[in-house]
Each structure stands twice: as C-alpha cells, then as structure tokens.
Amino acid sequence: MTVAASLPRSGTAPTATMGEQIPFDVDHLRADFPILGREVEGRPLVYLDSANTSHKPRCVVEAMEDHYLHHNANVARAMHALGGEATAAFEGGRQQIADFIGAERPEEVIFTKNASEALNLCAHTLGSRVGPGDEIVISVMEHHSNIVPWQLLAERTGATLRWFDVNEDGRLDLVGAASEGLINERTKIVSITYVSNVLGTVNPVSEIVSLAHAVGATVVVDASQAVPQLPVDVTLLGADLVAFTGHKMVGPTGIGVLWGRYDLLAELPPFLGGGEMIEVVTMAGSTFATPPHRFEAGTPPIAQAIGLGTAAGYLSAIGMDAIAAHEQEITAYALDGLKTVPGLRILGPREPVDRGGAVSFTLPDVHPHDVSQLLDSRGIAVRGGHHCARPLHHRFGVQSSTRASFYLYTTKAEIDALVDGLGYTQRFFGGGR
C-alpha cells in the first residue's frame, strides 16, 4: 500500500473520502470543519472571510499529521524507507492537483510557497522574453500580487505596463480595450485574474486568451479565487500559466501552485537556484533539472503538498459543480440581503451572474474597520480594508471596503446574521445605540 492511498484517515466526523461522490449538504459537511463549531464573543462563529483564507476539514489536517508522525523524511534525496514514503506522498499530492485542475501531466504542476511566489516566478522567468518597447498587460482589478511583480519586471526591462479598465458594474472594459488597441503586436505578456478577490467578477478568460494568443502573447492567469470555487480545467482554459494558492481551497498555508504548459515550462529559465533544481553543478557552471523540479529549489513544502492533495480530493468528492452551485446560491441570497441595507453600495456585479462568492461594499459614514469591528463583536468575521487591491478601490473612488466572502460551508443563516449585524452597526454609529 502506498502512503498516498492510506490517506486520508477517517475521523469521527462524517468525512468525505476520495473517489466517492456524496450529495451536497452544507450542515453535514460543516461537521468536517471543527473550527466552525467555535464561539466568538459568546456567539456562534460566522466566518465570512474565506476569500482571505478558507478553513480546513479534519481530513486535511490529519493527512499532514499522519505524514509528520509516521512518514516524515526529506523527498527525492533520502534513500531509506521513510524517504521513499515521503517522496511517494509528495508526488502523490502533485498528481492529485494535476487531476484536480485537468493538467495533462503532473510535471506541469510546480509547487511554490503561495500564489504570489507563483506569479513572481512567471514574471522572472518570462522576463528574458521582454525588452524596451514590449508591452505587458494586466487589469486594474488585480490583487497587488499580480501588479507589483509586473511593475518590477517593466522597470527592469524597459517594457511598458498597460491595463484593462473596468466599467461601473465591475466588469472588464473589453470594448474600451479594443478601441485603444490594448492588446497588440507589442504585447508579450497578458496576466489577468480569473475571479476578482474584491468584486467577485468572473472574467472571460478564454476570450482574453484568444486575443492574446492571436498576437503571440503569453497568458498568465491568477486563479487564486477561481480554483477554490469553480470547476477549473487548465487545459480547456487555454492559458499558458495558471497560479493559485492552497490555503484558499481548504488546504494548508505555505503552498501555492503554478501550472504551466509543459513545452513552455521546458523553455523557461530557472527561478530560484539551489538544491534539487539542478542536473549537474560544477564550479564553472550548472545545468538544470527538467520541470517541475527546475522551479522547486530547496526542500519543498512536503507536508503541505500532502495536505493540498487531500484538500483537492475532498473538494472532488463533494464535487466542484456542487460547490459552485452552492456558492452561486449563497451569493445570490447575500446580494438580495445586502440590497436591503440602507445606503449600502456594492462594488462589482449586483446580480449573481458570472460572479464569485466575494461581495465588497461600503456603508455611508461608517469606515470598513469600524464595520468589521462591530461585526466581530457579534462573532461575524469579515475583512475591512483595500484587500490588497488599492488601485481598484481608487478606481471606484473609495479608500477601502468591507468584504464578505463565502464558501462551501457558508449557510443562509450566516448571511442573515451579516445583514442583521450591518443594521446594528448602522444604529451604533448613527447614534441609536
């Protein structure tokens, strides 16, 4: 029996196991997440911050615990029994991720420490292909992690950074982009988010891929908010590189993923240098390993890869279609509820069409930090601030916003608690406390 096959162990809770489809039942699956049983300020926790990080089902934590307690060793170098088990489990995690995202082969899956590192890897390795006069295209709705690496690359190479604007509904302004010739023969890289972490907008990635590929540009997709909540098939998507992170998809922190088309990865230079990414090292120079190991210098996040593989198995067992449908239903319910709050302004699409489960909003005369503090006093966890997307907030003329974000374990009762909590917040700051 391989190590991977022994995972996950079943806990006392009704835990989903791999390869077996179970009907979607939010109350049932909440039992897999012990933290959801917690109280905050004497009230049941209402966790509406899953776009920030998701909670972890017991099977993910147990898979990592089992690795550390019973199979721990370094991978790919230790020639002993534990080394073999650890390597099999680590590479098993890679295979599970490849299956989860529809990669043609596991060698297309690179483990990084998070999505930011994956995007930096793209910017660095693609950097050899751009120079003065070339253009890199992003959008104004990007997370800072998909802005700053490209700004740095543009500064380093003399390339020009350009971006898609958004319209008032929070959709990419494709018409404006076409009329200004945003994507043209000078475009070398297009890097765009699949789902906005602020607006919830689901972008027409395949359409953008077609535009970019028509001019020979390489397409990078930040799928950090997409892979957790939508069925994503990277091969069908058509992009060249796709980045996402583990901790937003019920996996552990400390691990991210970069998927890349194998033939592209095989052409790209190394990113970080060190152990395990080499072929032969002499004092005069080195040759490098083939993908994915070329891009994985040093001891990788072993337990995290095992945990992430288990997370992918957990989500698959529930079914990404079912998770997406639940997310859609909860988001529609939340949009309806939020529209009843006087003066509340939703940033982004107001209807649950091509829209993910993150809803950002402003309340008149109450700062988002005060909103989140008041909600926290009722055990409701949301995020207040610019959500690492300051340019987007600037675009909408606001300094910051409050964001509620949902996931497979979010209930309608939690949305009701949010709407009630916002009423309480308004009374508190309106002088009616």
Catalytically active residues are 388
The DSSP output letter for 203 is P
Q: How far is the CB of 224 from another protein (least distance, A)?
A: 20
Q: How far is the CB of 45 from another protein (least distance, A)?
A: 16
Backbone angles phi, psi at 107, to 5 degrees: -65, -10
Q: How far is the CB of 388 from another protein (least distance, A)?
A: 10
Q: Does 151 bind another protein (CB under 8 A)?
A: no
Q: How far is the CB of 378 from another protein (least distance, A)?
A: 9
- Alpha-carbon gap, residue 58 to 6, rounded angstroms: 15
- Alpha-carbon gap, residue 172 to 174, rounded angstroms: 6
Crossing angle of helices 81-101 and 302-318, in 10° steps, is: 40
Q: How far is the CB of 433 from another protein (least distance, A)?
A: 8
Q: Which is nearer to another protein, 200 or 368 (CB)?
A: 368
- Alpha-carbon gap, residue 51 to 244, rounded angstroms: 12
Tell me which of 386, 404, 418, 422 binds another protein, using CB under 8 A: 386
Q: How far is the CB of 392 from another protein (least distance, A)?
A: 12
- Alpha-carbon gap, residue 428 to 338, rounded angstroms: 18
- Alpha-carbon gap, residue 110 to 127, rounded angstroms: 18
Q: Which is nearer to another protein, 65 or 370 (CB)?
A: 370
- Binders of another protein among residues 339 to 378 (CB under 8 A) are 366-370, 373-374, 376-377
Stretch that binds another protein, among 99-107, 290-298, 324-332, 384-392 (CB under 8 A): 384-392
How many residues touch another protein under the rule CB under 8 A: the total is 20
Tell me which of 44, 83, 204, 385 binds another protein, using CB under 8 A: 385
Site string for another protein, 390-409 (x = CB under 8 A): x--x-----xx---------
Tell me which of 24, 262, 288, 429 binds another protein, using CB under 8 A: 429
Backbone angles phi, psi at 388, to 5 degrees: 55, 30
189: which strand partners?
136, 218
Q: Which is nearer to another protein, 94 or 386 (CB)?
A: 386
Burial class (CB in 10 A: 0-12, 13-18, 19+), 18: middle
Of the candidates 260, 305, 289, 296, the residue with the CA atom closest to the CA atom of residue 92: 305
Tell me which of 203, 384, 403, 417 binds another protein, using CB under 8 A: 384
Where b means 16+ CB within 10 Å and e means fewer, 242-266 reads bbbbbbbbbbbbbbbbbbbbbeebe
Residues lying near another protein in the complex (CB under 8 A) are found at 366-370, 373-374, 376-377, 384-386, 390, 393, 399-400, 428-429, 431, 433
